[in-house]
Amino acid sequence: MSATSTPPRTPEKGSATTTRTYADSARPLPLRLLLTRDAAVLGLLVAVVSYSVVAIPNFDSQLTIYFLVLDIAPILLIALPMTLVIVTGEIDLSVASIVAVTSVLFGVLTREGAPIALAAVLAVLAGALAGAVNGLLVTKLGLPSLAVTIGTLALYRGVAVGLLGTTAITDWPDTWTDAVTATFGESQIPVIVVPLAVAAALFGLLLHLTSFGRGLFAIGLSSESARFSGVDVERTKLVAFVLTGLVSGIAGVYFTLRYGSSRGDNATGLELQVIAAVLLGGVSIFGGRGAIPGVLGGVLLIGVIGSALRLDGQSANVIQIVTGVLLIASVVSAALLGWVSRRVRRRPPTAAEAAPPAVPTAGGM
Amino acid sequence: MPSPAAPALRLSDVSKSFGSVVALRSGSLSLDAGSIHALVGENGAGKSTLVKIIAGLYRRDGGTVEFQGQTVDFRSTAEAKAAGIAVIYQEPTLFPDLSVTENIFMGRQPTSRWGRIDRRAMRAEAAALFARLGVDVDPDRPADGLSIADQQIIEIAKALSLDARVLVMDEPTAALSGNEVERLMTVARTLRDNGCAVLFISHRFDEVFALCDTITVMRDGSYVSTDAITDVTVEEIVRRLVGREVTELYPKQDAEIGEVLLEVEGLTQPGLFTDVDLTVRAGEIVGLAGLVGAGRSEVAQAIFGVDEYAAGEVRMAGQRVPRRDPVRAMDLGLALVPEDRRRHGLVLDAPIARNITLATRGRLSRGGLLTSRRENATAKDWAARLEVKAAAMDTLAGTLSGGNQQKVVLAKWLSTAPKVLIIDEPTRGIDVGTKAEVHRLLSSLAGEGMGILMISSELPEVLGVADRVVVLCEGRKTAELSRAEATPESVMTAATAAAGPTTHGQEKVS
């Protein structure tokens, strides 16, 4: 009666008889490192830098590097926590407005006689508060972060402009402004590379080497499975938003001192550059994928392209167009790569399905 | 023209694999017009794959399919439908905002002159279909809010309107109450008398024997036997579909039953479950039985804290488990292997190692830092213990077979060293071999003093594995049976105890 039934196997109890062994990875290490978006971005960065050094006069001068670092500092700072937010599958569009509102608050507090250090701390805390508002609206009310942060983008910018109107506070002591733009000795290497490197290392550790970071990725890939596995989804997302607000506050203080100006329209459009850098750095807009080294590559790429175009005499509009194109290209290329790899993975069954002819013969496999 | 002797549908040695997983080895089936044919087999025996090939959802790898004497190879569900094959699934998917009539005629509405939809003709035809089926459903009401039983009737009416010659019912009664089952069986007989070939898939032998003319048994993806229903007994069929005596299947070691670990008192969430009490002791396996939709999974998820409950209390070893706080529940020694592996159990796009260590990632950290090396070491250990079949720790969990995915979920939770393991449908969708491994594992865990609360829709599993069986019916506890008291009859009686027209307010039983 039975055609080809096989008796169910009955493995020995305790499973100690044959112990399976597993490799850490199905692919060798060099291949694993090379076949990532991070590697692609860093490769692209090297190519763009090499081209610029050869083709654009003065690109390799110390002064270029100096301005490059000072210009990308706020993008880099905010890109770090933004990576955490995007890895969870959310987004924060209000960061540039938080930079503006903290910059204005910093200015107003100082003008009203607060010590600069205290004003800076309060501004940073205000940034964290702004991030907490975003995070609470997203987690407690379950609203989509895209809508929430478009709202707060307008709201925080409005508060910033409302506080100062069209005026600016430009009366900053030289000791503070010089500290931000200081360089190491006679070189043109700005001192701020040190705090930037520390921040990048801290966020790298947080994302890649802590249980909190594992939770971020799990949420981005499947927030339900994460919840069922003991990841506090709401708290994790809230922390990511608060960190983004806090770091945006730090960027606001930096921005004020770097340009010696506290204004309501500071950092307009910065969120675009931050998000472009993060996505260019290989972080998936759908969450669950990304790495800090790639993001650093993305930030540098945005910075280098901007600075090369400026040295080449291109206008700000051109730079903005290039940034926009890069943003779209990075999302499209990720989608394209995903599609290609799915096709490749699906190839064998597809071939097998196509194999039997319309009138199959017995045992067509 | 089909010859009168040709069966309405015949499958011979049909096979289908997904990658390395063989879902169907050799499926054979022959359906006659004017007859109801039962297809039985355990979960994973290949019934669903066979049905999906008939429906045109999958294409076979090998074998032949003949429809009314002609060899066919359906490339899509549309082709199968056009040929005259209709499949009624366990949970139909209707357009909730459209009326019953509109659902029946979706995509092929009768039109009057100028191409306008002829609503009156459509409505009249729908009413005529229901009359033919002998059921009372309002053709004008929206599909939203219809009971599953009524939704199935709509699907059957749709099949009838398409003049289907072959009607496949894939476990249609799993979610139905007693009266609804009766009505469905009447409808099936009507269809048979109209010359339809009906394939009826069910786990419930009482229904199979009451309704069907012929019965085919499948096991491990292969055809086993076909008999006239009058020539076989239930015992004989059960023996064939498990391939051995039932008693061998679910070994439960005798374990010393210790102190009470998990206590649930008066757990209530309106609309889902009411006043549920249960206890699980150390070394004990408690089966939570009931029909689909009885609220078993909801109770489990409320206990673990991933879902809300309105009233009641949960304690672990005397300590209060707070509401909606799975992290705290884990700390107190609870673990939940959820029913829906793909949605709740696994992060499908994450590596095996990350999945196994997700619940213990905090514990594995040293000085706040967590390395892949540590994760891989722990994950390898657990994967080896449960014999997960995979080459590398960075293999994505979603690419594993059902049984191996379940092992990964089990590894994740066992690595938390729980005192009480709640496991929801431990062997759903996994092959027979792995199934036995899972049962053996549960038994040995209980032997080591773990308390286990096992939800299962498979009666033999509940009866074979559990020391004690708690039965839920429509969200209420209707029985608590010792191992000696628990028989298929006593459990099913309790599971259908409150069944009736009370909660399915929308339905109209003819």
- The answer to which of A125-139, B121-135, B406-420 has the lowest mean pLDDT is B121-135
Beta strands in B171-239, from DSSP E residues, in sequence order: 197-201, 214-219, 222-228
Position A151 pLDDT exceeds 60: yes
Amino acid letter at A266?
Answer: N
Q: What is the 3-state secondary structure (H, E, C) of B410-465?
A: HHHHHCCCCCEEEEECCCCCCCHHHHHHHHHHHHHHHHCCCEEEEECCCHHHHHHH
Q: In what order do the strands lie in the sheet with B214-219?
A: B70-71, B62-67, B9-18, B21-31, B222-228, B214-219, B35-40, B197-201, B166-170, B85-88
Chain B residues lying within 8 Å of A24, measured CB to CB: 353, 372, 376, 392-394
Structure confidence at residue A348 as a pLDDT band (50, 70, 90) = very low
In this structure, the answer to whether residues B312 and B433 fall within a common structural domain is yes
Chain B nearest C-alpha distance from A357 (Å): 9
Mean pLDDT of chain A: 86
Choosing from B223, B243, B263, the residue where a domain stops is B243
Highest mean pLDDT among A2-11, A133-142, A325-334, B437-446: A133-142
Beta strands, E only, B270-425: 273-281, 285-289, 311-316, 319-320, 334-337, 420-424
Say whether residue A255 is in contact with chain B using an 8 A CB cutoff: no
Residue A341 neighbours by CB under 8 Å, 6+ apart: none
* Domain range enclosing B408: 344-417
Residues of chain B numbered 428-447 and touching chain A (CB < 8 Å): 432-433, 435-437, 440, 444
Residue of A nearest to B240 (CA): A2
The closest CB to that of B395, out of A26, A227, A231, belongs to: A26
Q: Is B103 on the interface with A (CB under 8 A)?
A: no
Tell me: do B430 and B389 sit in the same domain: no
Residue B127 lies in a domain: no
Q: Is B89 or B4 the better-scoring residue by pLDDT?
A: B89
Chain B residues with CB-CB distance to A5 below 8 A: 219-220, 222, 224, 243
For chain B, positions 41-100, list CB contacts with chain A under 8 A.
59-64, 71, 73
pLDDT band at B371 (very low <50, low <70, confident <90, very high): very high
Tokens 């969870």 correspond to A88
Task: Give a yes or no: residue B338 inside a domain.
Answer: no
Which contiguous run of DSSP H or E holds residue A55? helix A37-55
The average pLDDT across A109-118 equals 95
Is any Cβ of chain B less than 8 angstroms from the Cβ of A24? Answer: yes
- Residue numbers in A near B391 (CB within 8 A): 22-23, 26
Q: How far apart are CA B391 and CA A25, in angstroms?
A: 8
Which of B347, B355, B404 to mutate: most A Cβ within 10 Å?
B347
Confidence of residue B43 (pLDDT cuts 50, 70, 90): low
pLDDT of residue B20: 65
pLDDT tens digit sequence for B263-307: 999 999 998 899 999 999 999 999 999 877 788 999 999 999 999
| Average pLDDT over all residues of chain B | 86
Residue B500 has pLDDT above 70, yes or no: no
By Cβ distance, the residue of B25, B346, B391 closest to A225 is B346
Q: Do B286 and B373 have their domain in common?
A: no
Supply φ then ψ for residue B253, to 5 degrees: -70, 150
Contact A222 B349 (CB under 8 A): yes
Residues B73 and B191 in one domain: yes
With contact defined as beta carbons under 8 Å apart, do B290 and B473 qualify? Answer: yes
Indicate the pLDDT class of residue A5, thresholds 50, 70 and 90.
very low
Give tens-digit pLDDT for A191-235.
Answer: 999 999 999 999 999 999 999 999 999 999 999 999 999 999 999
Whether A353 shows a pLDDT value over 60: the answer reads no
- B-chain residues near A288 (CB < 8 A): 349-350
Q: Provide the pLDDT confidence category of residue A17 given band limits of 50, 70 and 90.
A: very low
Would the CB atoms of A360 and B62 count as touching at under 8 Å?
yes
Give the integer Cα–Cα distance in Å for B44 and B154: 28
Residues B368 and B324 in one domain: no
Dihedral angle sign, alpha carbons of residues B465, B471, B472, B476: negative
Tell me the CATH number at B84.
3.40.50.300
Q: Residue A135's closest CA among A29, A30, A241, A20?
A: A241
User: Does residue B189 sit in the same domain as residue B329?
Assistant: no
What pLDDT does residue B4 have? 52
Domain assignment present for B405 = yes
What is the number of helices (H) and of strands (E) in chain B?
18, 20
> B135 in a domain, yes or no?
no
State which residue of chain A sits closest to B227, comparing Cα positions.
Answer: A1
Query: Does residue B264 sit within a domain?
Result: yes
pTM above 0.80, yes or no: no
Residue B132 domain-assigned (yes or no): no
Same domain, B51 and B163: yes
What domains are there in chain A, each with its CATH number? 37-341 (1.10.3470)
A229-255 burial code (b ≥16 CB/10 A, e <16): bbbbbbebbbbbbbbbbbbbbbbbbbb
B509 class by beta-carbon count within 10 Å (0-12 exposed, 13-18 middle, 19+ buried): middle
Distance from CA of B295 to the nearest CA of A (A): 18
Sign of CA dihedral A22, A26, A28, A33: negative
Dihedral sign computed on CA atoms, order B475, B478, B479, B480: positive
Judge whether B351 lies within some domain: yes
CA distance B3 to chain A (A): 20
Contact (CB<8Å) A11/B330: no
Give the B window 394-433 contacts with A, CB below 8 Å: 394-395, 412, 432-433
Answer yes or no: do B188 and B213 share one domain.
yes
Task: Name the domain boundary from B187, B209, B243.
Answer: B243
Name the closest residue on chain A to residue B327, using Cα atoms.
A230
Interface of B with A in 309-338 (CB under 8 A): 326-327, 330, 336, 338
Cβ within 8 Å, pair A365-B369: no
- Judge if B425 and B411 occupy the same domain: no
Minimal CA–CA distance to A216: which of A113, A83, A350?
A83
CA distance B19 to chain A (A): 6
Nearest CB neighbour to A362, from listed B13, B17, B344: B13
**Does A286 score more than 80 pLDDT?**
yes
Give helix then strand counts, H and E, for chain A: 14, 0
Q: Which of residues 292-351 of A touch B (CB under 8 A)?
A: 348-349
Contact B62 A362 (CB under 8 A): yes
Q: Which of B417, B450, B480 is the last residue of a domain?
A: B417
Please give the interface size between A and B, counted as residue pairs whose CB atoms are below 8 Å apart: 180
Mean pLDDT of all residues in A8-24: 57
Of B223, B326, B433, the CB nearest to A230: B326
Nearest CB to B62: which of A1, A349, A363? A363
pLDDT at residue B263 in the model: 96
Check if A112 contacts B (Cβ < 8 Å).
no
Measured CA to CA in angstroms, residue B416 lies from A212, A259, A331, B356, B400 at distances of 18, 53, 38, 10, 22
Spatial separation of the C-alpha atoms in residues B242 and B421, rounded to whole Å: 27
Q: How many domains does chain B have?
A: 3
- In sign, the C-alpha dihedral spanning B146, B148, B149, B153 is positive
* C-beta atoms of B62 and A209 within 8 A: no
ipTM passes above 0.90: no
Looking at the structure, do residues B155 and B62 belong to the same domain, yes or no?
Answer: yes
Instruction: Give B224-270 pLDDT, tens digit per residue.
Output: 999 999 999 887 887 787 665 444 456 667 778 899 999 999 999 99
Is the Cβ–Cβ distance between B31 and B37 less than 8 Å? Answer: yes
The answer to whether residues B201 and B292 belong to one domain is no
Q: Give me the pLDDT at residue B239, please.
A: 77
Q: Which residue has the higher pLDDT, A283 or B20?
A: A283
Q: Is residue B507 part of a domain?
A: no
Q: Are B439 and B427 contacting, i.e. CB atoms less than 8 angstroms apart?
A: yes
pLDDT-based confidence at residue B402 (cuts at 50, 70, 90)? confident
Residues 263-302 on B with a CB inside 8 Å of A are none
Average pLDDT over residues A140-159: 96
Choose among B60, B346, B383: nearest Cβ to A22. Answer: B383
- Average pLDDT (A132-138) is 98
Chain A residues near residue B359 by CB distance under 8 angstroms: 229-230
Residues 6 or more apart in contact with residue B468 via CB below 8 angstroms:
B284, B285, B286, B287, B480, B481, B482, B483, B486
Residues B373 and B287 in one domain: no
- Rounded to an integer, the average pLDDT of B335-360 is 94
Cβ–Cβ below 8 Å for B347 and A10: no
pLDDT over 60 at A358, yes or no: no
